[in-house]
Amino acid sequence: MDMNAFSLQHKIAWITGGSYGIGFAIAEAFAAAGATIVFNDIRQELVDKGLAAYRDKGIAARGYVCDVTDESAVQALVARIQDEVGVIDILVNNAGIIKRVPMTEMSAEDFRKVVDIDLNAPFICAKAVLPAMIQKGHGKIINICSMMSELGRETVSAYAAAKGGLKMLTRNICSEYGEHNIQCNGIGPGYIETPQTAPLRQRQPDGSRHPFDQFIVSKTPAARWGTTDDLQGPAVFLASDASNFVNGHILYVDGGILAYIGKQP
């Protein structure tokens, strides 16, 4: 096997919401594989924070402010990236939010906001990069899905609906544009150690685990939370020529949760 198939040399990768967390980790792996990194975030302070983090890693990334739910702004950003850096070869639709609210207490406005960022924005960004990918005759789109693309759980109705829709958007992009040598796949992270989940992993005053931490570890055959490093290899695979015949697939990186019914009480 030619291991150069995993190289991202001479590729330009755009990671939405790539200032920190999962998006940053994926961008770091892409850079190590040879890709040129561009990213965006919703506010300048987040972009500045991301640029500083990339510099600390020795990565010459370019950062832009852009609201990925604004189609005109996204189209303008893609045109700017093409002018300043080149045609985008790899898109990672990473930007997203979650609102943990019981469904009967959630406003329709908040439901729409989650769907707008987690589902409509990936549609907008994919739509913006597809024409140049078609013209180039190759492209990779990676949507950051979720275990909630397959499962439901209390308080995450909007998130689960959006991520379930993102799974089907992934398959539909594959169906429409696979003939142009464009692969659209998803990564479904399990429960990952990030700054956002840190409060759920804090030790209690008596030294015991947080109840949610206990719940996740007990439901995961790997018996631990995932790390952002666990997502790097799968992301590089899906971004590289090694996955050129993998299309419309959701790769769940969850430590085995979706395969596991749990221990008998």
Closest by CA position to 178, among listed 145, 139, 122, 124: 139
Query: Hunting for tokens 């096997």 — which residue is that?
Result: 1
The number of CA neighbours under 13 Å toward the Cβ of 39 is 36
Contacts 24+ apart (CB under 8 A), 56-61: 57/28, 57/31, 59/27, 59/28, 59/31, 61/18, 61/27, 61/31, 61/37
HSE-CB of 4 using CA atoms within 13 angstroms: 3
- Of all helices (H) and strands (E), which one includes residue 94? none
Task: With beta carbons less than 8 A apart as the criterion, state whether 239 and 175 touch.
Answer: no
Per-residue CA distances from 102 to 35, 124, 153, 257 (Å): 41, 28, 10, 23
Q: Is 200 left (phi over 0), alpha (psi -120 to 50) or beta?
A: alpha
Is the Cβ–Cβ distance between 30 and 236 less than 8 Å? yes
- Cβ–Cβ under 8 Å, residues 129 and 88: yes
Active site residue 252: no
Pairing of strands 36-41, 250-253: unpaired
Q: How far does CA 43 lie from the centroid of its chain?
A: 19
The catalytic residue among 20, 54, 159, 260 is 159
Which residues does the annotation mark as catalytic?
159
